Amino acid sequence: EYFYILRKYFKNNSIWLITNGILLPKQDNSFWKALKENNIILRPTKYPLKIDWENIKQKCKEYNITLSFFNDENIEKTSFKTALNLKGDSDPFDNFTICHRANIRIQIKDGIVYPCPIVANIKYFNSYFKQNLQISNRDYLELKKITSYDEILNFISKPLPFCRYCAISKMDCRPWCHSTKNITEYAVN
């Protein structure tokens, strides 16, 4: 359903489904049909995980879906180390202006539009590490309440309250690896 809603508001835009690919083999035909009907480009990232990419390539060919690996399919994944300021006293504007996710890493999850994957998934960080990085109602849009394209553009084009928790200048790129599940992987203060 999301693909149809997105295409309604972004009639002429390129829409990418960025994924780690883990759940792609489990998708039914309605998923692949929705990608095709809404001209969604499948942009998986290849992590060093066991995924049947040949089957996924075949599905894309069968449904005439553009498949373009986010990183070259022959290159091992690297990741940005997310750096969080647990005090929440970073300048949201400064963070937003240098953020590599700003305006381009929009997440849709459970009917909610988030400006980036950090906001969309912070509840897992909070739960696991017993933190309270707070999301306000100004940090997301409810998909069913969006009334115009301009509303979405306005939302993604400015810093939000949650940006105070990022430490963008302390993020770096490194080889991808499994998490050690230690808060020091993410927290910088």
Would you say residue 43 has pLDDT above 80?
A: yes
Residues 112-161 have pLDDT tens digits of 999 899 999 999 999 999 999 999 999 999 999 999 989 999 999 999 99
Better-scored residue on pLDDT, 20 or 86: 86
Cα–Cα distance measured from residue 131 to residue 187, given in angstroms and rounded to the nearest whole number: 11
Phi, psi at 186, each rounded to 5°: -120, -40
The pLDDT, as a whole number, for residue 66 is 98
Count the Cβ atoms, other than its own, within 10 Å of residue 93.
11
Angle at 128 between CA 178 and CA 163, to 5 degrees: 90
Would you say residue 57 has pLDDT above 80?
A: yes
Rounded to the nearest 10 degrees, the angle between the axes of helix 53-63 and helix 29-37 is 50
Residues 12-37 have pLDDT tens digits of 999 999 998 999 999 999 999 999 99
Strands (E), 51-189: 78-81, 107-109, 112-114, 141-142, 172-175
Mean pLDDT of the residues in the chain: 91
Better-scored residue on pLDDT, 98 or 64: 64
